[in-house]
Amino acid sequence: QVQLVESGGGLVQAGGSLRLSCAASGRTFSTYAMGWFRQAPGKEREFVAEIRWSGGSTSYRDSVKGRFFISRDNANNTMYLQLNSLKPEDTAVYYCAERPRLIGGYDYWGQGTQVTVSS
């Protein structure tokens, strides 16, 4: 059973930075991709970024392009999300997730980490 544990959230002023980490354990195969999602109060969960585990290609939602950067450490089964130039509208619970195969969705989810950006 794959387990994902996020860390690195917190309270930061607008314009500040945070780095989120997601440690994966229990994996017995090479996964296809991992991603970050977020959910703000009263809103639906939304996609933030994804990274292919082999090759490292990335994709982002438009509102975070140029500010957020996703990366991974294959050897340590860890994924990161660098959040720069944070805005109050980035406030949300951030979740990491794993997509084991090309066909299919995200099957495994972490418990989430709170990011709060004050104005």
Alpha-carbon span 72 to 93, nearest angstrom: 20
Residue 63's φ and ψ, nearest 5 degrees, are: -70, -10
How confident is the model at residue 22, as a pLDDT? 97
- pLDDT surpasses 90 at 115: yes
Please write the tens of the pLDDT for every residue from 2-36: 999 999 999 999 999 999 999 999 876 788 999 99
CA distances from residue 69 to 1, 56, 81, 85, 104 in whole angstroms, order as listed: 28, 12, 6, 11, 24
pLDDT of residue 52: 94
Q: What is the mean pLDDT of the chain?
A: 95
Are 110 and 5 within 8 A, CB to CB?
yes
36-56, pLDDT tens digit by residue? Answer: 999 999 999 999 999 998 888
**Distance between CA 88 and CA 98 in Å, rounded?**
27
Query: Which amino acid makes up residue 52?
Result: R
Q: What is the pLDDT of residue 26?
A: 87
